[in-house]
Chains A and B, each alone.
Chain A
Amino acid sequence: MKLQTPRFGEIDVDQAQIISFPSGVIGFPQVRQYVLLEDDKNAPFQWLQAVEDANLRFLVINPFLFRKDYEFEIPDPILEQIGAEKPEDVAVLAIVTIQPDTHRLTANLQGPVVVAGNTRIAKQLVLVSTPYHTRHDILEEMGVKMEAEPVSAGAAIEKP
């Protein structure tokens, strides 16, 4: 299947690569199929690219890369819904926002995306009674003070 993406141009998507979200990503319930794309220049960030809507994509990251202690419980009915037998079968992605005003890279740790490895069925959770929120500053969480960063990322954002 061919897919026209704004970032990578035309890409070939194998049916086996598709990750399905039976209830969509929150706020985008109609879009059910995505692929996870690697991006050499931006690794370890990846793109969750919608298959049905080429213009819809999310920058994502494995949250454990910057928060080793990140922790939440996946309720059994959710594991069942995505077809995972145990939590170890589940991959976790955090959706990243480049904040338009401050250009900071933030990750939504309150709404993690869980993907069952065996079925490739995914769901975005909303954590309740959790210390996590929707805007964790990724570089700050890594415990590094960067002066005037990420300016280079911010500079690439088009001003409206």
Chain B
Amino acid sequence: MLVLTRKSGESIRIGDEITVTVMEIRGKQVRLGIEAPAETTVHREEVYRRVQEENRLAATAPLRDIDSLGEIWRKVERKKNGRKGS
């Protein structure tokens, strides 16, 4: 990993189009400003990782024998409609 030391107000540039600026350093927190092309998506790492992990979990559950979801769905819909009607 490339490690650079920057002061508040200083920036780094990644490629030709992405600039990351240290806006403010306060105690243990650093505020970063990111300039990137509109099509570049920027995410907090932990949020991105959560989606990634959920995808992995969704993909790894052995689902091939599942065949009762339609039944469950209809049951729930019936319950819901029944309650609305009462």
Contact = CB atoms under 8 A, between A and B. Distances in A.
Interface in B62-83: 62-73, 75-77, 79-80, 83
Contacts of B61: 97-98, 100, 157
B72 A149 contact: yes
Contact of B66 (A28, A44, A153): A153
Contact of B80 (A26, A57, A143): A143
B73 A108 contact: no
Interface string A110-136: 110000000000001010100000110
Interface of A: 6-7, 25-28, 39-45, 56-59, 75-78, 80-81, 95-100, 105, 108, 110-111, 124, 126, 128, 134-135, 139, 142-144, 146, 149-150, 152-153, 156-158
Interface of B: 37-39, 41, 43-44, 47-48, 50-59, 61-73, 75-77, 79-80, 83
